């Protein structure tokens, strides 16, 4: 189990040079001296994820001693009010008891600026404040900006930052910007946003974030494949029958009905989360773990995905919308009854599709992907199903069928890996039973408080863009789903709602695999 050395009482929590294990070995270097500027600091993402993530980084000694945070939002608030709010959020959204020394250390480094994102005065005041913090906290003129704001402001905010010189890198200072999703609504808007950003900043300054890549199991896909000699040799079309990727959610749209009805499950999940999981699962070994070496291989996979024709969209994709249903003895409302959703909404809350990758490794191996809301379990997983072993040896036994082996990468909520294989059951007759060998991170390494943003924020502080999307990757992901957007817009659904809340989706999704003699692997737990 990994144990992190806690700060000594009465000392600077950031006084140690690096995060260490209990045996004294380094496990990572602290981030560079810098200021984190959060645009949209009064929002839900900041209080639920970003502030707790910074606390967890501090707890593991992965923040520099020369560090500060500036919150920028429209809400009228003083720095003192912001600090009080941050402390309340820490108490509410941090999993473990809050360390008093670390809390006070963070509190002294929190600042707030009230301003409109379209007002030049906001950025002039921000520049003045950052210059002061460089002196007060020795942050060396290094800044990164987290855009936890509406997508319409992404481009204008970066342009305003650049106009006052806050994106200019000189004298060994760095300036970076983290852009939240959604990165565009379609291929054209994603290209336009990329062009808008890259007119004023360099690609290496832009960190397009996908919080799924902060999950331990997602990061472990590369380690699992490339550090274990028993798996990579069989990670190809000769041994693998097909791959399933499922991103299932139990929640509906909650209070986001107005936004979600304009986005839908396809835009919300597939070009970003799902495409990242496909690319990491399918990519060739990179020459190193340098950011562009990894992302080059991911981009190759995205470009190798077989384009969908209009006919393919009709035969290889499924869309669904949940109606009323039940789960856990509770009645669940239909999507069209949710707040902010039109009574005749055509928005999909479920997507399934069959993806083919046209390269040597994966030719003929289908990737089945699905994502949906109001499903029976919250579960994200990748199932690698291997080809069936020859049955000839068992033809004169009581065994009537062989189950294929399955390797499952569990991404959330429990992070781990399981392997399903056959074994003989005890007794004088040849009978086979299915065995699941399970590994969970929490059982083996211990459970560490995490929001999923810690690794990503730290990577930005040290300039490692491996887990962030590059412009060409974003556009490639949108290219895959563009035919679906076009066909679905031209041919409105006739059967919505077509699955009950609390079920695994429309029957057409089961038929998508059933036509190929396969079926989804569902995890109710």
Query: Does residue 308 sit in the same domain as residue 361?
Result: yes
Asked if the structure places residue 388 within a domain, the reply is yes
**Angle made by CA atoms 26, 2, 456, in degrees to the nearest 5:** 70
Last residue of a domain, one of 180, 203, 224: 180
CB neighbours of residue 44 within 10 Å: 9
How is residue 171 written in tokens?
A: 């004298």
The three-state (H, E, C) secondary structure of 276-328, written as one string: HHHHHHHCCCCCCCCHHHHHHHHHHHHHHECCCCHHHHHHHEEEECEECEEEC
Within a domain: 270: yes
Residue 243's pLDDT is what? 98
Residue 157, Cβ density class (10 Å: 0-12 exposed, 13-18 middle, ≥19 buried): buried
Judge contact between 383 and 243, C-beta under 8 A: yes
- Per-residue pLDDT tens listing for the chain (525 residues): 333 333 333 445 554 444 444 444 445 789 999 999 999 999 889 999 999 999 999 999 999 999 999 999 999 999 999 999 999 888 888 877 888 999 999 999 999 999 999 999 999 999 999 999 999 999 999 999 999 998 999 999 999 999 999 999 998 999 999 998 889 999 999 999 999 999 999 999 999 998 777 766 677 788 888 888 899 999 999 999 999 999 999 999 887 788 899 899 999 999 999 999 999 999 999 998 888 999 999 999 999 999 999 999 999 999 999 999 998 888 999 999 998 999 999 999 999 999 999 999 999 999 999 999 999 999 999 999 998 866 555 556 665 667 788 999 988 888 888 988 776 667 776 667 677 888 887 777 766 667 789 989 999 999 999 889 999 999 999 999 999 999 999 999 989 999 999 999 999 999 999 999 999 999 876
* Residue 309 included in any domain: yes
Q: Are residues 307 and 160 in the same domain?
A: no
Say if residue 172 is in the same domain as residue 218: no
DSSP 357-425: B-STTTTT--EEEEEESS-SS-EEEEEEEEPPPP-GGGTTSS----PPPEEEEEEESS-EEEEEEEEEP
Query: Do 129 and 232 fall within a single domain?
Result: no
- Residue 5 lies inside a defined structural domain of this protein: no
Q: Domain residues for 141?
A: 19-180
What does the pLDDT read at residue 399? 54
Q: Are residues 227 and 114 in the same domain?
A: no
Query: Which of 129, 155, 180 is the last residue before a domain boundary?
Result: 180
Whole-angstrom distance, CA of residue 54 vs CA of residue 454: 7
> Which token pair is 517?
């003699």
Active site residue 60: no
509 and 379 in one domain?
yes
Catalytic choice (60, 137, 242, 273): 273
Shared domain check, 420 and 488: yes
Instruction: Establish if 318 belongs to a structural domain.
Output: yes
Let me know if residue 64 belongs to a domain. Answer: yes
Strand partners, 244: 368, 383
The two tokens of residue 470 are 């590059």
Same domain, 161 and 31: yes
For residues 426 and 428, give the distance between their C-alpha atoms in angstroms, rounded to a whole number.
Answer: 7
List alpha helices for 41-186, DSSP H.
44-45, 51-59, 79-93, 100-107, 120-137, 154-163
- For residues 162 and 235, membership in a common domain is answered with no
Q: What is the CATH number of the domain that holds 156?
A: 3.40.50.720
| Pair 295, 348 in one domain | yes
DSSP state of 18: S
Looking at the structure, tell me whether residues 266 and 148 fall in a common domain.
Answer: no
Instruction: Please indicate, yes or no, if residue 3 is contained in any of the structural domains.
Output: no
Q: How many domains does the chain have?
A: 2
Residues 6+ apart with CB under 8 A from 516: 242, 366
CATH of residue 420's domain is 3.30.360.10
**pLDDT value for 22:** 43
Final residue of a structural domain among 163, 180, 197: 180
- Residue count of the chain: 525
pLDDT of residue 479: 96
What secondary structure, in 3-state letters, does 442-500 show?
A: HHHHCCCCCCCCHHHHHHHHHCCCCCCECHHHHHHHHHHHHHHHHHHHHCCCCCCCCEE
Q: Does 311 reside within a domain?
A: yes
Instruction: Provide the H-helix boundaries in 305-367.
Output: 310-316
Is omega for the bond preceding 182 within 30 degrees of 0, making it cis? yes
Same domain (yes/no): 219, 176: no
């Amino acid at each position: 189990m990994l144990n992190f050395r806690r700060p000594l009482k009465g000392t600077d929590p950031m006084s140690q040079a690096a995060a260490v294990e209990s045996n004294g070995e380094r496990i990572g270097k602290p981030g560079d001296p810098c200021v984190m500027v959060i645009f949209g600091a009064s929002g839900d993402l900041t209080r639920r994820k970003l502030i707790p993530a910074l606390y967890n980084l501090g707890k593991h000694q992965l923040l520099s001693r020369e560090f500060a945070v500036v919150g920028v939002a429209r809400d009228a608030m003083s720095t003192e009010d912001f600090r009080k709010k941050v402390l309340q959020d820490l108490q509410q959204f941090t999993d473990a008891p809050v360390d008093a020394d670390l809390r006070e250390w963070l509190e002294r480094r929190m600042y707030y600026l009230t301003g409109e994102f379209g007002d030049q005065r906001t950025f002039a005041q921000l520049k003045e404040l950052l210059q002061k913090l460089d002196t007060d906290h020795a942050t060396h003129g290094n800044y990164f900006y987290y855009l936890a704001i509406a997508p319409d402001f992404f481009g204008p905010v970066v342009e305003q930052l650049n106009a006052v010189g806050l994106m200019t890198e000189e004298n060994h200072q760095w300036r970076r910007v983290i852009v939240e999703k959604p990165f565009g609504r379609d291929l054209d808007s994603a290209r336009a946003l990329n062009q808008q950003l890259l007119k004023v900043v360099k690609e290496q300054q832009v960190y397009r974030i996908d919080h799924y890549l902060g999950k331990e199991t997602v990061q472990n896909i590369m380690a699992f494949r490339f550090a274990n000699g028993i798996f990579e040799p069989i990670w190809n079309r000769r041994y693998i029958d097909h791959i399933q990727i499922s991103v299932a959610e139990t929640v509906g749209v909650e209070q986001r009905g107005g936004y979600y009805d304009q986005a839908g499950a396809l835009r919300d999940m597939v070009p970003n989360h799902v495409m990242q999981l496909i690319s990491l699962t399918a990519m060739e070994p990179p020459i190193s773990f340098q950011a562009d070496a990894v992302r080059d291989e991911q981009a190759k996979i995205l470009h190798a995905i077989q384009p969908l024709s209009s006919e393919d969209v009709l035969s290889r994709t499924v869309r669904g919308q949940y109606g009323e249903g039940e789960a856990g003895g509770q009645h669940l409302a239909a999507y069209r009854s949710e707040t902010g959703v039109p009574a005749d909404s055509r928005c999909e809350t479920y997507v399934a599709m069959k993806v083919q990758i046209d390269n040597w490794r994966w030719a003929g191996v289908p990737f089945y992907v699905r994502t949906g809301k109001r499903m029976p379990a919250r579960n994200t997983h990748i199932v690698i199903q291997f080809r069936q072993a020859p049955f000839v040896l068992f033809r004169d036994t009581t065994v009537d069928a062989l189950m294929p082996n399955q390797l499952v990468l569990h991404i959330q909520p429990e992070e781990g890996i399981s392997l399903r294989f056959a074994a003989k059951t005890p007794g004088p007759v040849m009978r086979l039973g299915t065995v699941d060998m399970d590994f969970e991170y929490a059982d083996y390494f211990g459970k560490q408080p995490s929001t999923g943003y810690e690794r990503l924020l730290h990577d930005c502080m040290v300039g490692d863009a491996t887990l962030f999307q590059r412009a060409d990757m974003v556009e490639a992901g949108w290219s895959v789903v563009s035919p679906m957007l076009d066909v679905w817009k031209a041919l409105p659904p006739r059967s919505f709602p077509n699955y009950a809340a609390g079920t695994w989706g429309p029957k057409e999704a089961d038929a998508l695999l059933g036509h190929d003699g396969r079926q989804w692997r569902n995890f109710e737990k």
